[in-house]
Amino acid sequence: MSELDTWLAHYRAAGEPMTIEDRAVHHALVAFCEQHRAWPRLDGGETADLWGFGYVPVRAVAEDGTGLWLHLADLMEPTGVTYMQLRAAFDQDLADEYSDVALVTLPHGGLHLVKTTFAMRVFMGMSPWAKEWWANTKDLLRLGFLHSGLADTLGMADGIRGEGPLPSVEVARHTAFRGPRLDGDQQ
C-alpha cells in the first residue's frame, strides 16, 4: 500500500460530519487524487515557480514525481494569456484525453486542474512571453533531451549538440528560471 493509499484510507475513515455539498466536494477531490495518483495541497502554502515569470499555488503533487497540479485560472498572470484562451486550450486537451489536464466536477461547477507540462505548452505556443521563455529554457531542454537519452532515441543528438556549446546544468537551470528580460537587462 502506498503512502497515498494510506492517506486516502485515513481520510475516508475520519468520519467527520459534512454537509451534502461538502461531502460531494470531498468525494470529487478524493476521486481526482485516486485517478491521478496525486497528493492534495489545498492550503495554498506550496507554490510553483513558472520559470521566473511568476509563482502559482500548487493544488496537488503527483505521487510519482511527474509534475505539479495547478489551477487553470492561476496561469493567467504569469503566462499573459486570458482565461478564455486558457480554457479553450484546456477543453481541447481534455477532449484529446491528455493526461495533464483534469476537470473535477463539483456541485456548483468544476475545478480545472493542469500539470506544469500544460503551462509549458501555453508558454511555448500562446504566451506573449513565448520568445523569452524559449530563449531562457532552450539550453535546459537541450540538456534534458541529451541526458535522458531521448535525443539518441529520436535521432536528434547530433543536431542538438550541433546547435552550439552547452552550459552546465546549474547554469542552464539558473537561466531557465530567470524570467522575462526587460529593457536594459544584461545577458
Residues facing 61 on adjacent strands:
39, 68
pLDDT confidence of residue 42? 65
Whether residue 53 contacts residue 123, with contact meaning beta carbons closer than 8 Å, is answered with yes
Q: Where are the domains of the chain?
A: 3-125, 130-176
pLDDT greater than 60 at residue 124: yes
pLDDT confidence of residue 184? 47
Q: What is this structure's pTM?
A: 0.78
pLDDT > 70: what percent of the chain? 85
Which residue in this structure is represented by grid cell 466536477? 105
Q: What is the pLDDT of residues 88-115, one digit of tens each?
A: 999 999 999 998 999 998 888 888 999 9
Whether residue 37 contacts residue 64, with contact meaning beta carbons closer than 8 Å, is answered with yes
Burial of 95 per CB tally in 10 Å (0-12, 13-18, 19+)? exposed
DSSP string, 49-96: E-TTS-EEEEEEEETTSS-EEEEGGGGHHHHT--HHHHHHHHHHHHHT
Please give the mean pLDDT across all residues of the chain: 85
pLDDT confidence of residue 15? 60
| List of residues 6+ apart from 26 with CB closer than 8 A | 18
